[in-house]
Homo-oligomer: A and B are copies of this chain.
Amino acid sequence: MSRKILILTEGLSSPNSAKTACSVIRYRREEVVGVLDTTVMPQSCQGLFEVGGDLPVVNSVEAVPEANVLLIGIAPTGGGLPESMRMQVLAAIERGMDIESGLHDFLADDEEFVKAAQKSGSVLRDLRRNNERDVAQRQNISTECLRVHTVGHDCSVGKMITSIEITRGLEADGVDAKFIATGQTGILVEGDGCPVDAVVADFISGSVEKQILAHQHHQVLVVEGQGSITHPCYSAVTLGLLHGCLPDVLVYCYELGRTQVKGVDHIELPSMESQKDLYLAMANAAHSCRFVGVSINSRNADERTYRKEKERIESEWGLPACDVFREDAGPLVKAVKAQINN
């Protein structure tokens, strides 16, 4: 039976708070039949999420009777299920729908959900559940495959989207490229990958290396970055990724105008220059590596501000820069392509 996904964003229907929902709508639109949020008026997705066109936002599961999967469309700090979503999840289970979740708190560890699912036959699928137990080996890494890695100045700046857009651009250009998903949303989009932020600490780099080894028959791998190397909460994930995927080239991603760490607002973001140096120092300690482009997330800027910023960045970094949505990923694709067999 084909998947017909209803995405639950209860009370959190915005591009910022429902990142997972937005990306699944953007990249798996053909599988999505609606969005469920009882706190807003029924309407089309575009207005709330800036994506999805006339895909309906509904107030009850019953409004989309064909839905057979309920996807938790958020990925909040800490990764717990908001209390307000429990009732909707239970209702979906009772209807026999499968539930998919990228939360740190696993559905399958929730007694009430498990009991209900046993009754209805629902499958509870936890995207972050893993049993990674391989430490990195740094062996048998191919020199034929170009490894690209997106890093950034903070969480939620567009590393996943930049990775996907670069991969698709390369493919459109005839390059055999693959996107390596490292978070729950990327995994939903790509259909495989590793939820690196949910791996036990000792095995972070090993779990990434495993992805590389499994897919390095492609010409190019574009590995999704996480967090930032100076992030107060998640720098460990970022470095484990960097040392696990051993990038040949890096793409720097940031949001124009952001000055404070998202979710830890009293902490200022470091300068891009200082962060760039840290990324290069830490990456090159493992494998020779350099930046080839900059991805500017300009969602909160007008066209003029964006143009000025782009010019500034291209001049300061000496590299192509672009917003992959406002324009497209062309300049980054070209920059990566130039590195193949280099």
Chain B residues within 8 Å of A135, by CB: 77-78, 233-234, 263
Closest to A195 in B: B201
Is the Cβ of A136 less than 8 Å from the Cβ of B232? yes
Is the Cβ of B201 less than 8 Å from the Cβ of A196? yes
The answer to the question of A114 belonging to the interface, with a C-beta cut-off of 8 Å to chain B, is no
Query: Which one of A133, A136, A196, A267 has the greatest number of beta carbons of chain B within 10 Å?
Result: A136
Chain B residues within 8 Å of A285, by CB: 229-230, 270, 274, 278
Question: Which bracket fits the contact residues of A?
Answer: 35 or more
State A242–B137 Cα separation when bound (angstroms): 24
State A198–B134 Cα separation when bound (angstroms): 13
Chain B residues within 8 Å of A78, by CB: 133-135
State A134–B232 Cα separation when bound (angstroms): 12
The answer to the question of A138 belonging to the interface, with a C-beta cut-off of 8 Å to chain B, is yes
State A206–B227 Cα separation when bound (angstroms): 14
State A206–B197 Cα separation when bound (angstroms): 13
Chain B residues within 8 Å of A231, by CB: 243
The answer to the question of A202 belonging to the interface, with a C-beta cut-off of 8 Å to chain B, is yes
Quick one: CB contact mask for A233-266 with B, threshold 8 Å, 1 for yes?
A: 1111101100100000000000000000001101
Is the Cβ of A137 less than 8 Å from the Cβ of B264? yes
State A286–B234 Cα separation when bound (angstroms): 13
The answer to the question of A95 belonging to the interface, with a C-beta cut-off of 8 Å to chain B, is no
The answer to the question of A205 belonging to the interface, with a C-beta cut-off of 8 Å to chain B, is yes
CB distance from A81 to the nearest CB of B (A): 12
Closest to A78 in B: B135
State A274–B282 Cα separation when bound (angstroms): 11
The answer to the question of A200 belonging to the interface, with a C-beta cut-off of 8 Å to chain B, is yes
Contact residues, A259-293 vs B (CB, 8 A): 263-264, 266-267, 270, 274, 277-278, 281-282, 285-286
Quick one: CB contact mask for A175-205 with B, threshold 8 Å, 1 for yes?
A: 0000000000000000000001111111011
Chain A interface (Cβ within 8 Å of chain B)? 77-80, 104-105, 133-139, 196-202, 204-206, 229-237, 239-240, 243, 263-264, 266-267, 270, 274, 277-278, 281-282, 285-286
